[in-house]
């Protein structure tokens, strides 16, 4: 028996320390090898043999998890032979990568002996393997081949033993099964083809299976074999060499193998495999002149992949479709109507781009005649294709040309109808998703174009923009997504504002959104913005007050009154500013002003100077409606400017101290100049004479202002 002949040559595997995530796999492989060794020493019913097998299946179930199978493979390397484990990760692992170095050196040769004694290249343990099958397989592997007339036929004896023990969920490949030795195949493809041929040749042995059961078994075999061959390069090589599988298999023809394999490919792998086949076709065409069996075979497989793509409803990218037409894999006449239209539109778009400037100029002077109708139809047809190609610069140029042309009353009706058609055509989920995705890939100018395009699309782009804002860590993307939403309008902003507290953690971004939304002037936004008056961050509450005033003005007075009780001085200041601009005379407003200015009670909390300054500005408007209001405001201001007096004997000996800072007192003087009367002049004059600070200057100016106003009134 040639036990060492024929293992496929695998690429060298770097020797690295085992990773922690391989711990369960290392333990299982160690237990498996030990079980084979001990089962070979003892009879199957011996306690030591039973002990070795007792926990092995449980370890297998832990390792297999949600994987479809686990394959142990004997492969040749530059330094000798190695055991590879496939199916645990995306790429095969050597036993050296899984076990500690000393353990691997000790157990790899012992494991290799079991492969050699049965002339075995690989075995695959499938996920639905039963405990009984697993135990029987380990016992069979542990047996020594008996010398006699069957020597050299180990493959047949082990295969028959597997069938006799009803072991159906373990797939084996022997040295004699290896195919394509002369074709220089990659080792993974060679092993996959060898295993597929081996498993399909086993089908006639299922003598009791019905045709339907055989069909299901056949599909499962192909699924199991194709699943690890995921890369397009490997799939291409696999499909091109399927003739190796069909040789001497009665249940399948060569083309059936290809069709079954292509039917098992995922929708994601189909376009990638098609592209790889085209590269391979170009390579073969460059080395051979004229038709050849190789070219014919490749063209047939390509047509099969195209048919599968069409059956799955997958879109074929423009460059791929053009390549297929150029290489005569398909003809334009053979394409279904939808694909034919795709090709025609693509070619029409190329023609449009070649004369782009002329078409844009013609849009500006379009007329409601036959030529204008043709131009509008052309733009309607190429516009979605330009979006699909993500040629955003040309799309933006088209939109600007239409917008400029629509200013002319003569061209406006036709261009407005065209814009409506383009908007409807652009409201395609794929086009919108592509444009939003590209927000993070463009430079500043490119992002501006995308904002313009998304805003033009309108309502249909709103949900995607909100989701892009919610999921992006890039501030520029969020800024641009919001700007597009703002330009779309209220229908897009209301859902956005509802989610904003949960999707934005940067308070400046929230403030910007609230104020920019309020600039639209649509009062239907007020309810959504008012919810931010209770936001945890003071700057956001402050911005929300300003936004509410922009939208509702004096109608938002209840919101401003509530904000007077805010814990943050900046928010109270903003509330006072809004109340002042709204010229509020509400009792609660006046009570707040009085409480802020009157510090007669030393125990009362002092208001922040910024709030007091804002109160002074707000009170300047109180004298504009009636003498009673002016008198009340003047009394409040004069009381606030009076020094406070200390009680008792100490109060008789010392002068009172000022209630407010010089900055606030100067502002009080300025307000008095606006609403005060002759009774304030005396106090102001005294302050002007006795105080040299900014207070004195403000008092002098206020007294002069009151006197001039009184003089004008007397003249009138």
pLDDT number for residue 156? 82
Over the stretch 119-136, which tens digit does the pLDDT of each residue have?
899 999 999 999 999 999
Structural domain boundaries in the chain = 1-178, 598-642+658-716
CB 531 within 8 A of CB 509: no
Over the stretch 216-244, which tens digit does the pLDDT of each residue have?
888 888 888 887 777 888 888 888 888 88
Query: What mean pLDDT is predicted for residues 509-531?
Result: 96
The DSSP annotation for 1-63 comes to --TTS-PPBPPP----PPPGGGHHHHHHHHHHHHHHHHHHHS-TTSHHHHHHHHTHHHHHHHH
Ranked by mean pLDDT, the top range of 201-205, 431-435, 536-540 is 536-540
How many CB atoms are located within 10 Å of the residue 536 CB? Answer: 8
How far apart (Å, rounded) are the C-alpha atoms in residues 370 and 256?
A: 55
How many CB atoms are located within 10 Å of the residue 26 CB? Answer: 21
How far apart (Å, rounded) are the C-alpha atoms in residues 120 and 610?
A: 88
pLDDT number for residue 18? 61
Is 251 exposed, middle or buried, given 0-12, 13-18 or 19+ CB atoms closer than 10 A? Answer: middle
Query: What mean pLDDT is predicted for residues 577-582?
Result: 94
- Coil, helix or strand for 508? helix
Over the stretch 184-198, which tens digit does the pLDDT of each residue have?
888 888 888 988 888
Query: Taking all residues of the chain, what is their mean pLDDT, rounded to a whole number?
Result: 85
CB 397 within 8 A of CB 422: no
What backbone phi and psi angles, to 5 degrees, belong to 600? -60, -30
Judged by average pLDDT, the poorest of 15-29, 265-279, 414-428, 557-571 is: 15-29
**Residues forming beta bridges with residue 84, ordered by sequence position:** 73, 94
The DSSP annotation for 617-655 comes to HHHTTGGGS-HHHHHHHHHHHHHHHSPB---HHHHHHS-
When pLDDT is cut at 50, 70 and 90, the band that residue 214 belongs to is confident
pLDDT number for residue 351? 93
């Amino acid at each position: 028996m040639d036990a060492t002949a024929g293992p496929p040559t695998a690429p060298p595997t770097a020797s690295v320390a085992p990773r922690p995530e391989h711990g369960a796999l290392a333990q299982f492989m160690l237990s498996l090898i030990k079980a084979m060794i001990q089962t070979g020493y003892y009879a199957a019913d011996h306690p030591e043999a039973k002990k070795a097998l007792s926990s092995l299946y449980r370890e297998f179930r832990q390792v297999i998890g949600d994987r479809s199978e686990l394959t142990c493979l004997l492969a040749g390397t530059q330094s000798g032979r190695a055991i590879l484990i496939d199916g645990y990760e995306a790429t095969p692992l050597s036993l050296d990568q899984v076990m500690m170095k000393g353990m691997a050196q000790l157990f790899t040769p012992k494991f290799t002996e079991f492969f050699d004694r049965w002339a075995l290249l690989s075995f695959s343990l499938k996920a639905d393997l039963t405990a009984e099958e697993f135990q029987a397989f380990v016992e069979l592997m542990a047996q020594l081949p008996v010398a006699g007339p069957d020597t050299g036929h180990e493959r047949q004896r082990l295969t028959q033993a597997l069938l006799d023990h009803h072991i159906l969920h373990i797939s084996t490949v022997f040295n004699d099964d290896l195919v394509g030795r002369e074709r220089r195949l990659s080792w993974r493809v060679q092993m996959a083809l060898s295993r597929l041929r081996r498993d399909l040749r086993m089908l006639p042995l299922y003598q009791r299976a019905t045709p339907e059961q055989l069909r299901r078994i056949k599909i499962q075999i192909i699924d199991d074999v194709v699943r690890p061959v995921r890369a397009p390069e490997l799939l291409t090589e696999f499909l091109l060499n399927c003739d190796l599988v069909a040789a001497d298999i009665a249940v399948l023809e060569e083309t059936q193998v290809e069709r079954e394999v292509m039917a098992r490919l995922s929708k994601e792998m189909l376009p990638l495999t098609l592209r790889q086949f085209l590269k391979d076709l170009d390579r073969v065409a460059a080395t051979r002149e004229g038709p050849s069996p190789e070219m014919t075979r490749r063209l047939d497989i390509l047509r099969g992949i195209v048919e599968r793509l069409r059956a799955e409803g997958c879109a074929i990218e423009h460059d791929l479709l053009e390549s297929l037409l150029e290489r005569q894999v398909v003809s334009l006449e053979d394409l279904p109507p939808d694909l034919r239209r795709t090709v025609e539109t693509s070619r029409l778009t190329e023609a449009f781009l070649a004369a782009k400037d002329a078409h844009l100029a013609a849009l500006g002077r379009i007329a409601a005649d036959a030529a204008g109708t043709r131009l509008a139809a052309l733009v309607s047809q190429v516009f979605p294709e330009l979006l699909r190609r993500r040629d955003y610069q040309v799309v933006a140029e088209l939109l600007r040309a239409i917008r400029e042309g629509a200013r002319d009353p003569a061209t406006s009706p036709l261009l407005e109808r065209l814009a409506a058609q383009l908007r409807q055509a652009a409201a395609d989920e794929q086009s919108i998703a592509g444009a939003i995705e590209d927000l993070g890939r463009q430079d500043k100018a490119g992002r501006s174009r995308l904002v313009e395009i998304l805003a033009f699309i309108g309502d249909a782009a709103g949900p995607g923009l909100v989701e892009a804002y919610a999921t992006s860590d890039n501030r520029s993307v969020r800024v641009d997504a919001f700007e597009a939403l703002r330009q779309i309008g209220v229908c897009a902003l209301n859902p956005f504002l509802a989610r904003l507290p949960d999707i934005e953690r940067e308070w400046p971004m929230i403030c910007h959104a609230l104020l920019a939304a309020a600039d639209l002037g649509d009062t239907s936004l007020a309810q959504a913005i008012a919810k931010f008056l209770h936001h945890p961050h003071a700057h956001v509450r402050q911005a929300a007050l300003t936004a509410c005033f922009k939208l509702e003005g004096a109608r938002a007075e209840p919101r401003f009154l509530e904000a007077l009780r805010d814990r943050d001085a900046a928010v109270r200041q903003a509330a006072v500013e809004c109340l002042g601009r709204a010229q509020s005379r509400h009792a609660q407003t006046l009570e707040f002003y009085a409480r802020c200015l009157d510090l007669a009670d030393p125990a009362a909390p002092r208001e922040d100077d910024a709030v007091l300054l804002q109160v002074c500005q707000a009170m300047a408007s109180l004298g504009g409606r009636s003498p009673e209001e002016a008198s009340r405001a003047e009394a409040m201001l004069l009381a606030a400017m009076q020094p406070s007096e200390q009680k008792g004997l100490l109060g008789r000996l010392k002068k009172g101290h000022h209630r407010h800072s010089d900055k606030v007192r100067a502002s009080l003087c300025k307000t008095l100049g606006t609403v005060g009367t002759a009774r304030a002049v005396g106090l102001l004059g005294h302050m002007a004479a006795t105080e040299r600070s900014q207070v004195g200057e403000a008092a002098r100016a206020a007294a002069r202002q009151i006197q001039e106003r009184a003089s004008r009134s007397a003249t009138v």
